[in-house]
Amino acid sequence: MIAHCFIRLVKQHYKDLQISRVLTRRQLTTLSDFPLDGVLTNSIDELIDNSDIIVECSGDVFHGTDVIERAFQAGLPVVTVNAELQVTTGSYLAGLGLLTEAEGDQPGSLAALREDALQMGFKPLVYGNMKGYLNLDPTPEDMAYWSRRQGISIDQTTSFTDGTKVQIEQVVVGNGFGATITRQGLEGLASTNLNDSASVLGMMAERLDQPIVDYVIPSGYPAGGVFLVCRHDDDQVPAIEYFKLGPGPYYVLVRPYHLCSLEVGKTVRRVLAGGGVLLNNSTAPTLSVGAVAKRAMKPGELIERGIGGFQFRGEAVKIANNPDHVPIGLLRKTALIRPVEPGQMITFDDVDILPSRALDIVLQERQQLLNPGEPQAWPSVGHLKIALG
């Protein structure tokens, strides 16, 4: 959906830009309904050779990592709509070239709202997301129904519903802007009044003396947007109250929509104009998204997927407090080697992960983050040493 909508937007409204190639892993003959003729390819080389900038919207951590690394080898900038990739391998990739999340999805929309706020003199304390519905353990039958109704995949529907997606989005924002979390899994306040909820979150941030990321579940007002909780200078208080933001000390700036593919072009133009990064996972992340079991599982059980599956959901964690956690984005066709209980955070000792470039990157980064300055070496976990040769 993202690719199709973005291509239609450029084709009809961006006359100075051209979609030169579209990389797909599907057979080209099966894509007769694609909205642009003559651009589809299965070749990464052809994509790179015919591009000035890459827009990555695969939603796939492993494929996206491979493509972005190749793009950076060719010196191309990359705009992505893939927060799942950002929290898994994005920090490594951000050190190789210009990688930015696009405006349109919640992280990019929060980044754009932050830029506006800073230019008006506001000091962000809370980077907030608004989530319309949450069910930590939805059934496959319900997810299949909503997948058909909304026209998106079952795994996407599930990751939105069980909260994994909002955890991922907020971790990208936290890493990108030096914010932290109040607890594992975020607060996720039920909210009937955004100003009241914002004040609670603002006080939490000030107690920590650091900005935080979190989300609310609105009741009685629309969901689907993003918000900031901010402070401002004391001598601006009368003016801000006159401007209808209330008496303070906490001011809520709301962006009540995010239009996904319709906004990606703004970030493409930003990069082409030399505007630089809007948001990425930073090269020194402090937060990650771990995998928490939804049910009891036995050794030998296959994990088809972590993000959007029915075995695990994602929760935001501090890396320093969870040094052995497995980022949920790495769980794909992974075998359990130890029993797991409901609510358990998965570690590298619990699973046998297939080799991949993404796994190499995560292990290398984990070593550097936890042991800065030491020679790089893989963690001394037997099954990982075997998997990596």
Residue 135 burial (CB count, 10 A): 13
Cβ 307 vs Cβ 159: under 8 Å: yes
pLDDT for position 386: 24
User: 220-242 as b/e, with b when 16 or more CB fall inside 10 Å?
Assistant: eeebebbbbbbbbeeeebeebee
Helices (H), 120-278: 140-150, 154-161, 164-177, 194-208, 237-242, 261-272
Give CA 104 to chain center in angstroms: 12
Residue ranges, the chain, pLDDT below 70: 370, 372-389
194-249, pLDDT tens digit by residue?
999 999 999 999 999 999 999 999 998 888 899 999 999 999 999 999 999 999 99
Q: Which residue reads 């790089």 in tokens? A: 376
Q: What is the DSSP letter of 199?
A: H
Distance CA 26, CA 24 (A): 5
Distance CA 170, CA 173 (A): 5
Q: Count Cα neighbours of 256 within 13 Å in the Cβ-side half-sphere.
A: 4
pTM: 0.93
pLDDT for position 379: 40
pLDDT for position 77: 98
pLDDT for position 44: 96
DSSP string computed for 233-269: -GGGHHHHHHTTS-S-SSEEEEE----THHHHHHHHH
Helices (H), the chain: 2-13, 44-49, 61-73, 83-85, 91-94, 106-119, 140-150, 154-161, 164-177, 194-208, 237-242, 261-272, 357-370, 382-387
Q: How is residue 148 written in tokens?
A: 């058909």
Integer angstrom CA distances of residue 329 from 91, 173, 362: 14, 17, 10
Give CA 58 to chain center in angstroms: 13
Prior bond of 211 cis (ω within 30°):
no
